[in-house]
Each structure stands twice: as C-alpha cells, then as structure tokens.
Structure 1
Amino acid sequence: MHIVITDSGLGGLSVCAHLIHLLKNYSVPENSDQISFNIKISYINAVPSNDKGYNKMSGMKEQIKTFEKIISNSVRLLSPDNIFVACGTLSVLLDNLALRADKSFKINGIVNIGIQLLVKKLKTNPGAKAIIMATPTTINNKTFHKELLNNGISENQIVEQSCPNLANEISNDPVGVVVGKQIKHWVKNSLKKFNGTTKDHLIIFLGCTHYGYHENIFKMAFINEGFQKITVLNPNYTAAEKLKNYVLDNQIKNLVFKNRFLIKFLSPYEIPENEIITLNKLITPISPETSKALKNPKIVPELLND
C-alpha cells in the first residue's frame, strides 16, 4: 500500500506526523529502503518553487494547472493507492482536476472533513457561531460558506477570516513570536465581522493545516478578547484518524500487515534551512520519524515535468 499526503508547503506534515503517531500502535516505523515494507507514506511538497506559492499565483487557472501537473507526475512516479490532499488551499481545487476521472487511485481532500466537523458541531450547538480562519484562496473559493448554508447552517452563524501569508510565517518562525502577533492581528480582524457578544459559544475552525501547529495561540487570542466558551476544531487530527482507519482496514482485508512502513519526503526544490528547523521543532514531539524524513528529503524536479 502506498499513501501520498500532499500540501502546498509543509503544513500537511502535521497530518503525516499524527498518522504515523497513530500507526505506531500497530507497527514499527523505519526510514531505510527495504522491499519488505508493505506500507509506504510519501509526503509531497506540492509548491513548484520556494518563491511561488499558490496564494501568490495569478489566479485559479494557474493554480489548477500547477497542482494537476504535480499530481499527475506523482501518480506516474509513485503509483499511489491513495492521495490525500492535506491542504485547504489545494482541496478546494480538486473538483476542477481532470485527474478525478482516473480510478486507479483514490484522491480526497481535507476540506470535506472540515465541513463535516463544522456542520456536526454547529448542529449540536445551534446557538454557537463559527469563525473560519483560512488562506485567501480557501476563503475566496467560498466552499465552506456554500456547504455550510447547503447543510442548513444559518448565515449569521458564519464568519470567515482570510489570513494572508500566515502559513508562510508559521513555517519560518521557530520561536513563534512573529506568528503570535500575526494570529492576534487576524483574530481581531475576524471579530470586526462578528455579530454577537463575548458570551457566545465560539467555534474556531483552523482551515489551513499550518494553523494546527499553533492552535493554542489561536485559542488564547480569543480568550484574551474576552471569550470563555471556545471550541477549536483542528481537522488535522480527524484526517490522520481517517487515514489510519483506511490503512488498517485495507491491511486486515488483504491479510498482509507486516508491522512496518516507510516514510519519504519529496519536494521539487530544496526546502530552506529555516523552514526545516522550524518544522522539526513543531513535529518532532509528535513523530520523530516524520522529522527524520524531512531532514533527509528526496529532491524530485520531475514533479514539475509537463
């Protein structure tokens, strides 16, 4: 079995790390090439270059073309059974990919998981209000807004806040000082759109996988604004749980579980040292194996082949 986890950067490593942490209850991870491994996890950084992220592209047409190219090359090079898009920005592009018609592999995104979490929580707490913190691409796409309304959630229960460049700042701030200030800034901005009081139950949805690394800072920022009843929804955990169940169900079904798996980190370009330092600090407590893979990347420029 070969699972690919991909993101427009390194935020999705959180999903990868949590998945490996869960699988350790069932298997012993390794980072060396051995043909006996029956579970392979490849993390693919789907950004074309260090200075050309998706939120800096000219528009959706360029985003779709770039992402489709990387997914197509990933399928050609790796032959995965399952591709999981651990990225809000890229998940909202999935319906536009021609590759969705290819039945040789499964491909799903984290946005659908997030929508399910939000709908369930808001229906369980009809008096609550949701604040969705996400990237400009995710917010501008309106996927969350449309799906929540389609599921019977009231318009006045939804606040959406775009956080430009926050994901990049999270990847480049090992201490977290700059990130803390930026999160407070975007929290204050979100509350300018908020039609309620500090007595309301707030459901804070982290709509970018990077944001999950600092969910406590988000929560404290809202507490410092006077809110006490706060629920933070981090879909990274649920995504990892679903992938774990997929792995275990498949292995039990095929009776080939060998208690070991291989982890690889692939990128079309070399990751800057500062990002590696920052992400290792964030993911090592969850999964040292994921950190080791990040520190020993496989640079694959062929991911960008036309």
Structure 2
Amino acid sequence: MSNVVITDSGLGGLSVVAPLVEKIGNSSLHPHKIIFVNALPDTHHGYNTMPDTETKINMFNRVLYGIEKQFKPDMIAIACNTLSAIADRTSFARSHDRKLMNIIDLAIRYGRQRVFDLTGIHNKYVVFATETTIDNHSYEQRLKTIGVASSDIISVPCPGLASQIELNYRSTDTDSLVKKCVSKASQNLHSVKKPVYVILGCTHYGYVADLFTAEFNRLGINNTIFVNPNHYMVEEICQRLSINPAKQTEQRKGLVSVHIYSRCKILPEEITSVSKLIEPISKQTADALRNYELRPNLF
C-alpha cells in the first residue's frame, strides 16, 4: 500500500486531494492511503501572519517532522505555495529531499513543457499568490531561470483571499478581493496584445478560478491563459504511483482511503464552504473533511 501525505496551510490542498482520490479509485488495482494534514498551527493565525520568515520555516519544519513521525509516508506533497516557498530552507528538506514534492516547482516545470511560449518576446506572466509566496520571490526567481524577463512578471499579493475562500467562496467579500487583485494586475495589461499567463499561485485560488476569469473579461483583457498548478500536482502524484487515469477500470472505491487530520479546530463554516466545492468531485473526500480527526499533538 502506498502512503501519500498531502499538506497545506489550510484547506486549499483538498482541491488536490479530491481529484486524486477519484483518479486512484477509478484507475488503480492497488490500495493507496491518502492522508491530508492541515499544517495550520492555530485556527486564527496562519503562516502569513507570523512575524518573520524564520518563524515560518521553524514551524513548517515541525510539521514535516511530525508528518514523518506519525504517518511514515512514501511521499509528502506540499500542496501549498506559501509552504513550498520556504520548504527548501527546512532541515527536513535537506535530509528528505526525495520524499518531498513542491507545487511551485511543478507549476514551472509543467508550465514550461505545456503552456508557456518562451519564444514570445514580452509575453506577460501574472502571479497571484499570498504575501509569503510573493515576498520570497518564489515564482519570479523560477520564471527567470527559464528565460522570462523580470519586466514581464507581474506579482500580485492577495492578502486575506485564501481565508475568505475557506469561509465562503461565494461571498461578496471573496468577489471583492478577487476584483481588487485583478485590478492591480490589470494596470499594466490593457495595452498588451501578447499572451498573458495567469498563474494561480495559491491552491485556494483554483476554487474561484471562474471569478478571476470573469473579472479579466469584464476589464476587457481577453488574452489570458490560466495556469492552475493544482492540476499538475494531481498528475505528478498519479505518475509516481504509476496510475493512468486514461485507462479507467470498473470503480473500486475500496482501494483508496482518505483521512484528514488537523492540529487546530477547523471552523464549521470552513467545512461547509470547502465541502460544497469538493463534493461534486469526490464525495469520499468531502465526507472525510466533515469527519476530520482533531489531533493536538500532530506536530
């Protein structure tokens, strides 16, 4: 049995878990255990509110060692851009590098292979992400290594958006925050005729990709090409588990189990909001969220 842990500083990573559970359940002849670990240390205080980068690194290092101790996983997929931005600076990463999968690295690798036209001069790359991801220049540095000029990268932090999506993905507050983020990005795009690659650099943002698309269109910016790294992580995990969703067999739901753990209490409104988003994809994952295990000694 393969033992895969997916972790995120919140519930955005369940947008990876849900399609993964379905693909495995439909395609695998071997049992797999999918574990989701909420890396949030406190219900009301996330990584983006921590005082400095060193505090974030130390906390996530504790999370990774806690995961290793409690679950002994074959693979740890960091389905969180905020945590991926600091993961390589943890002592755990230095000693367990082959076990870790980083969503930012996947975004750039798959984007380069399948989406980005790197021969196009002055194509634009818009990165929507949390403050931590932007402040660490995580996407900017990686885009530059594949030949993108700094002047063609527009990095837009979206404070509070991930939390608001968890609370109510269809609230006026969520819609307002998306519009505010797109407005910031659009200031340099109205005269651009070349492709604009829009990277949803937070796993939560995939839940409201339609809001981002609608706002760009409302502003008359119709040359956008969206990149959702969540899809790439699902595909990469399937590849590593030797699962081919294209060769679907009769559904065998007993071959995949999903378990969700959190050190802190997940708010009822967060469970309601996110379960509505993932249930159409995977009822099994939505049920696991509603019945998550609160484990104070998780890390």
TM-score by length of 2: 0.91
Match of 1:274 among 269, 275, 280: 269
Match of 2:204 among 205, 210, 215: 210
Matches within 5 A, 1:217-256: 217-248=211-242
Aligned to 2:146: 151
Match of 2:107 among 94, 101, 114: 114
**Which whole-Å CA distance do the structure 2 matches of 1:176 and 1:235 have between them?**
24
| 8 A contact 2:79–2:203 mirrored in 1 | yes
The alignment partner of 2:128 has SS state of strand
**Which whole-Å CA distance do the structure 1 matches of 2:14 and 2:204 have between them?**
9
Aligned to 1:294: 289
The alignment partner of 2:77 has SS state of strand
Give, as a single letter, the amino acid of the residue that structure 2 aligns with 1:97.
T
Residue 42 (structure 2) pairs with residue 49 (structure 1): yes
Aligned to 2:5: 4
| 8 A contact 2:264–2:295 mirrored in 1 | yes
**Which whole-Å CA distance do the structure 1 matches of 2:239 and 2:186 have between them?**
37
Residue 68 (structure 2) pairs with residue 75 (structure 1): yes
Q: Which runs of 5+ in 1 are unaligned?
A: 29-36, 251-256
| 8 A contact 1:156–1:195 mirrored in 2 | no
Aligned to 1:32: none
Distance 1:152 1:105, change over 3 A: closer
Match of 1:191 among 183, 186, 191: 186
**Which whole-Å CA distance do the structure 2 matches of 1:124 and 1:224 have between them?**
29
| 8 A contact 1:174–1:277 mirrored in 2 | no
Distance 1:92 1:104, change over 3 A: closer
| 8 A contact 1:122–1:153 mirrored in 2 | no
Match of 2:133 among 125, 133, 138: 138
- Measured after TM superposition, the shift of residue 200 of structure 1 is 3.5
**Which whole-Å CA distance do the structure 2 matches of 1:220 and 1:93 have between them?**
32
Count of aligned positions: 289
Q: CA RMSD in A?
A: 2.2
The alignment partner of 1:92 has SS state of helix
Q: How far does the alpha carbon of each residue in 1:30-67 deviate from its partner, in whole angstroms, 9 at most, with x for none?
A: xxxxxxx8311100000001111000001111101111
Distance 1:138 1:174, change over 3 A: closer
Give the share of equivalent positions with the same residue, in percent: 31
- Measured after TM superposition, the shift of residue 275 of structure 1 is 0.1
- Measured after TM superposition, the shift of residue 102 of structure 1 is 3.1
**Which whole-Å CA distance do the structure 2 matches of 1:245 and 1:125 have between them?**
30
Give, as a single letter, the amino acid of the residue that structure 2 aligns with 1:136.
E
Distance 1:18 1:270, change over 3 A: same
TM-score by length of 1: 0.89
- Measured after TM superposition, the shift of residue 198 of structure 1 is 5.1
Matches within 5 A, 1:15-30: 15-27=16-28
- Measured after TM superposition, the shift of residue 155 of structure 1 is 2.1
Distance 1:104 1:160, change over 3 A: closer
**Which whole-Å CA distance do the structure 1 matches of 2:94 and 2:128 have between them?**
31
Q: How far does the alpha carbon of each residue in 1:104-149 deviate from its partner, in whole angstroms, 9 at most, with x for none?
A: 9611210101122444414165452111000000000012111211
**Which whole-Å CA distance do the structure 2 matches of 1:158 and 1:104 have between them?**
29
